[in-house]
Structure 1
Amino acid sequence: MPVTLVLILVLAALWETTLLVSDLIRGRGVTNEPSQLLASGALVWLGNNLAFGLLYWLMDGGGPTARLRLVVPVDLAFTQQLDPDLKPGWRPVFLDYLHLGFTNATAFSPTDVMPLTLRAKYTMLVQATVALALFGLIVARAVNAFT
């Protein structure tokens, strides 16, 4: 059930991104007013990051409950897991996955968390691509509207 809800949130976030990008391309809706465009873009970006943070949290190693039994990372390797002397017994919590979502959407690549499986890599690829398209179009349109 939680996986279904998170997938619905991710699909809703992707749909909102698609609608905003479509409006940007066609010059409709909030795209004609720079302050509304930036506010809408920030809200869509935030929604994407929250949805993907939840998705990473549920996806990694089979979810939070299954990860309790794991000794080594499965889908995502955090820095603290790669060096056992750094933080003995450390386990990621939801905020670590939320941080992953924000850094992936900002840097468009892994920062301090390495994807280990194809599903982790392609999930990060989708999120980075969506964030790049959103940033590129919103910034270009906002700069154009302000000048």
Structure 2
Amino acid sequence: MDDPHAPGSDHDTSQAQASPDQERRAETRWPALTGLVVALALYALVSNPGTAALRYLAIALVLLILLPLFVLNPHRLSRETQWSRWMSIVLTSLLVVANQINVLSVIGELLSGTANGPRVLLTALQVWVTNVIAFGLLYWDLDRGGPVARGTLSRDQLPPADFAFPQDDHRDAVVEVTRQSSQRGDWRPGFVDYLYVSLTNMMAFSPTDAMPLRTRTKMFMAVQALTGFILLALVISRAVNILG
């Protein structure tokens, strides 16, 4: 059976209308929107003239894509169409790819040793934080069909999971824990959960909270961990040179 929330499926492209109960259960837009605004602000403030045109173009495209998505779901993520699903994935992917270009630029500056020390270290921090948010948004947008599917569909209708969270395994724990489990409490991950997964992956270079289940997820986490490791190693090396 085709996944109605997978891009490219042949399902009806009319707007999916949530019931009142689904509307109340649907995730609010504001945590993810706040993360996106912070990422765009940090991205715009990176002091690298060489990537300025690319950065401003990427920001303009992200805002252009965001506008119809915001109109469709201004408060809670309860409605979705085939075009909105595609646009949401393009938005998060664009942010990730654009920041990876910034990562490569910062790595080049750190390796050359010719750039101003404090400036390049601040730029590396901005790029690092933006990477955490960008990958958090990507994981949030992909797992189990995306935020609309997670918030409105019954569990037997959800697409395959990209992550296994601790709450997914707590059905046999003590009562106060099982209240927050996926099976007994109908717990579903939100943006903050994926942001935490992204943060720990950048810091520990491996999954610590949620385990990746699908090949694509493992590849995304591998790219994120590798860029985080390289940035941290070069920043420490550069800081030692500056202090020395």
For normalisation by structure 2, the TM-score amounts to 0.56
Higher relative contact order (CA 8 A, sep 6+): 1
- The match for 2:168 is 81
Query: How far did residue 38 of structure 1 move?
Result: 2.5
Opposite residue 10 of structure 1, the aligned amino acid is V
Opposite residue 240 of structure 2, the aligned amino acid is V
1:64 partnered with 2:64? no
Opposite residue 8 of structure 1, the aligned amino acid is L
Q: Deviations over 1:47-105 (max 9, x none)?
A: 10010000000011121112232538611011111213531211101011111111100
Opposite residue 80 of structure 1, the aligned amino acid is Q
C-alpha distance in structure 1 between counterparts of 2:90 and 2:242, whole Å: 39
Large movers: runs of 4+ above 6 Å: none
Q: Deviations over 1:95-144 (max 9, x none)?
A: 11111111100000000100011111111111000100110111111111
1:24 partnered with 2:118? no
- The match for 2:227 is 130
User: Is the CA contact 2:109–2:120 (under 8 Å) kept in the aligned structure 1?
Assistant: no
Opposite residue 129 of structure 1, the aligned amino acid is L
Opposite residue 48 of structure 1, the aligned amino acid is N
User: Is the CA contact 1:37–1:142 (under 8 Å) kept in the aligned structure 2?
Assistant: no
C-alpha distance in structure 2 between counterparts of 1:146 and 1:83, whole Å: 48
- The match for 2:214 is 117
1:106 partnered with 2:203? yes
For normalisation by structure 1, the TM-score amounts to 0.91
Percent of residue pairs identical: 42
Please point out which of 81, 94, 103 is paired with 1:8: 94
1:43 partnered with 2:140? no
C-alpha distance in structure 2 between counterparts of 1:21 and 1:45, whole Å: 11
User: Is the CA contact 1:75–1:115 (under 8 Å) kept in the aligned structure 2?
Assistant: yes
SS in 1 for 2:161: coil
User: Is the CA contact 1:56–1:97 (under 8 Å) kept in the aligned structure 2?
Assistant: yes
SS in 1 for 2:189: coil
Moved more, 132-141 or 36-45: 36-45
C-alpha distance in structure 2 between counterparts of 1:100 and 1:38, whole Å: 24
Moved more, 13-22 or 72-81: 72-81
Moved more, 14-23 or 70-79: 70-79
The unaligned stretches of length 5 or more in structure 1 are none
Q: Deviations over 1:10-56 (max 9, x none)?
A: 01110110000011111233xx32x3232111101001001000000
User: Is the CA contact 2:95–2:134 (under 8 Å) kept in the aligned structure 1?
Assistant: yes
Aligned length: 144
